[in-house]
Amino acid sequence: MSSPVPAATFKPSTQKRLLRALAGGSLDRPPIWLMRQAGRYLPEYRALREKAGSFLALCYAPDLAAEVTLQPVRRFGTDAAILFADILLVADALGQRLDFREGEGPVLEPVRGLDDLVRLGRRDPQTRLAPVYETVSRVRAALPGDCALIGFAGAPWTVATYMVEGGANGDHACAKRWAYGDPAGFQRLIDLLVETTFAYLDRQIAAGAEAVQIFDSWAGALSAEGIERWCVAPVAALVTRLRAAHPDVPVIVFPRGAGALYQGFAPATGAQGIGIDFTVPARWAADVLQKEATVQGNLDPQLLVVGGETMRRAAHQLLETLGHGPYIFNLGHGVVPETPPEHVADLVGLVRNWRA
What does the binding site for ligand CP3 look like in residue numbers (CB under 6 A)?
Answer: 35-40, 49, 55, 82, 84, 86-88, 100, 105-106, 152, 168, 215, 217, 334
| Catalytic (active site) residue 40 | yes
Provide the 10 A C-beta neighbour count for residue 310. Answer: 10
Nearer to ligand CP3, 27 or 168 (CB): 168
| Residue 90 one-letter amino acid | V
From 36, 122, 312, 352, active-site residue: 36
- Are 261 and 255 in contact by the 8 Å Cβ rule? The answer is yes
From 17, 20, 49, 203, active-site residue: 49
- Give dist(CA 268, CA 190) in Å, integer: 18
346 Cβ contact partners less than 8 Å away, ≥ 6 residues apart: 307, 311, 312
| Residue 238 one-letter amino acid | L
From 45, 133, 162, 200, active-site residue: 162
Nearer to ligand CP3, 196 or 321 (CB): 196
Distances in Å between the alpha carbon of 174 and those of 162, 232, 235, 260? 10, 20, 21, 25
- Give dist(CA 356, CA 190) in Å, integer: 42
| Residue 237 one-letter amino acid | A
Shortest approach of ligand CP3 to residue 42 CB, angstroms? 10
Shortest approach of ligand CP3 to residue 211 CB, angstroms? 13
| Catalytic (active site) residue 97 | no
| Catalytic (active site) residue 162 | yes
Shortest approach of ligand CP3 to residue 198 CB, angstroms? 18
Shortest approach of ligand CP3 to residue 36 CB, angstroms? 4
| Catalytic (active site) residue 29 | no
What is the gyration radius of the CA atoms in the chain, in angstroms? Answer: 19
Nearer to ligand CP3, 65 or 261 (CB): 65
Shortest approach of ligand CP3 to residue 352 CB, angstroms? 19
Task: Return the C-alpha torsion angle 346, 351, 354, 356, nearest 10.
Answer: 160
Nearer to ligand CP3, 100 or 278 (CB): 100
From 79, 86, 202, 277, active-site residue: 86
Packing angle between helix 183-207 and helix 233-245, nearest 10 degrees? 30
Nearer to ligand CP3, 39 or 273 (CB): 39
The catalytic residue positions are: 36, 40, 49, 86, 162
